[in-house]
Amino acid sequence: MDSRHCCSCEDHCHEHEESRLPIVIRLISGAILFILALLLHNNFLFTLSYIILGYDVVFKAFKNYKNLFNESFLMTVATFGAFALGEFAEACAVMLFYQIGEFLSDYATDKSKESIGELMDLRSDTAHLLSAEGVTDVLSETVHIGDNIRVLSGEKVPLDGIISKGAGYFDTKSLTGESIPQKLFVGDTVLSGYISTNSPVEITVTKEYADSTASKILALVSDEKKANSEKFITKFSRIYTPIVVILALLIAVIPVIFGGYYKTWIYRAMLFLVVSCPCALVVSIPLSFFAGIGCASLKGILIKGAFALEKASKIKNFAFDKTGTLTDGKFAVRSVKSENYSENELLKYAAYCEYYSNHPIANAIKEYYAEDIDEGLISDFSEIAGKGILAKIDSHNISVGSAEFIGVENSQKGLIYVSVDGEFAGSILISDEIKNEAKSAISELKKLGISPIILTGDSLYNAESVANELDIPFKASLLPQDKVSEIGKLKKNGVTAFVGDGINDAPVLSNADVGVSMGNIGQDAAIESSDVVLTNDDLLKIPKLIRISGKTMRIVKENIIFSISVKIAVMLLGALGFASIWGAVFADVGVLILAILNSLRAFLLKD
């Protein structure tokens, strides 16, 4: 994404304030003239007020002559009709209150964008480039992979890279949502958008500016793919507007043919046109989606546009990868089975035997044993890479390793076997631990009426162990293409989401109705293959995603039903002579303002 098309949040705020200033001046001057005209009963002042307030609406009405049936056309025809009938005040009132409603909707939309902008203002357009000549400030987009840059305390990291010199704490909240700074050292990866909080560091760049994490996230959040609800408004307007115009003509003509007073029925037709303007729908629905996406972003859930948000609200099945998603990817002892020894004795022999090894499995066994190890009891230690360990522990010959190494038939993945003095003594199940919040997240999904399932490439035994603890069904030993096939089956029963690591699960993420990537904010595959990216490993963000999308869609439906119902009611009352054009104006603007306020509720979701 070109930096020339992006600016800081502060610049955005100033731009919005400057762009709103002429509109405010127009509204104030037009309103003053309108009030003076009312007091002085001066039609010239009414006309001048109308021109100031409504010139852009009239211009827009006839600018696209091939598509006359739009809200500007309805406003123009109605107000011209009011002038023809000598109702100058009503014509000006229509434009005044319409412009007030438009101003309020634009202001609300700008505030929504600023709220996301504050979170998504990740990129730094300049970088301190290191070279043989010294330090030079350059545009970030001119820095290349392999170049070295310096980031000073308090500055944003402009490009993804690896720390080559220095160490310090980094504020990662804008990417991860986590407020606690991370301590990073030489060799650690830093992402664009991080902020160095306490000391300068030097970084070797690993990604171009356009491919940096910040750029990818900004592209993701600014995705403008329309939701079906937004498409509904477009289709609705194409049908609705010509029907309204035809009905207004019929109201104006037919009663007059049968002896009705022409001024009365033209007035009612004009009123019919005023109240028919679909501005509440046109404004509130996109604003609702934007507010929902903004709410999610503030909670570390990045949603790729309105279409993905709408899809998320309809999820019926949620498939989970196991390793690194439901589990933390760290080895831990899950169970101990002993033959002729107590479990603690078996663990002792295994822990002593593994004492000098730094293998993750060895560390898991020693951590689980959790007792002090007397190094004096260990002798003749020997590690055979990829197979196991031999050692003499307190005069006993201990072997720990694979089934083949120990001499056991019918081996099982995930089990570490132990022999004492040449005889099989038992086994220890090693697997990664289930995340602390996994049970709560699964429970919340079930309460929301969503069916969870595990789809994993891991062994049957390991998958079954995790599935039993979480009380959900599973499919194990799946290749990537098998997962795609399983997702296809689930999609027949409703909208299906899949959450995985975004790299080896890219095919299934792409094939799911809603692809969700867990905690891989720095991975291109996570951002490009997914509809939703969670900025850390917190599984509780998933039910939060469902609640935000559900609330947003409820608000969208409320606005549609409310707006259409009120308009139909006032249109009928106006056609029958029970409402004045003043009532029509206030009803139209009132509906717009209420719809805007209702849309902004999408920003509010309690944790």
Residue 400: beta bridge partners? 389, 418
How far is Cα 471 from Cα 73, in angstroms, rounded to an integer?
59
How far is Cα 399 from Cα 406, in angstroms, rounded to an integer?
7
What does the DSSP assignment read for 312-375? HTTEEEEEE-IIIIIEEEEEEEEEEEESSS-HHHHHHHHHHHTTT---HHHHHHHHHH-S---G
The SS3 assignment for 414 reads coil
Residue tagged active-site, from 110, 160, 171, 321:
321
Q: In terms of DSSP bridges, do strands 532-534 and 514-518 run parallel, antiparallel, or are they unpaired?
A: parallel
Q: In terms of DSSP bridges, do strands 451-455 and 423-434 run parallel, antiparallel, or are they unpaired?
A: unpaired
How far is Cα 497 from Cα 231, in angstroms, rounded to an integer?
23
How far the first Cα of the chain sits from its last, in Å, is: 33
How far is Cα 152 from Cα 89, in angstroms, rounded to an integer?
62
For tokens 């035809």, the residue is: 246
How far is Cα 416 from Cα 335, in angstroms, rounded to an integer?
11
Asked if 432 is an active-site residue, the reply is: no
CB 225 within 8 A of CB 293: no
Which residues are CB-neighbours of 245 under 8 A, at least 6 positions away? 69, 74, 77, 273
| C-alpha to C-alpha distances, 63 to 106, 277, 452, nearest whole angstrom | 22, 18, 53
How far is Cα 603 from Cα 294, in angstroms, rounded to an integer?
7
Closest Cα to residue 296, out of 13, 9, 531?
531
CB 97 within 8 A of CB 586: yes
Half-sphere exposure at residue 408, Cβ-oriented, CA atoms within 13 angstroms: 22
What does the DSSP assignment read for 504-564? TTHHHHHHSSEEEEES-TT-HHHHHH-SEEESSS-TTHHHHHHHHHHHHHHHHHHHHHHHH
Is 379 exposed, middle or buried, given 0-12, 13-18 or 19+ CB atoms closer than 10 A? exposed
| C-alpha to C-alpha distances, 90 to 308, 423, 543, nearest whole angstrom | 43, 100, 50
Instruction: Fill in the DSSP letter of residue 3.
Output: G
Tell me the catalytic residues. Answer: 321
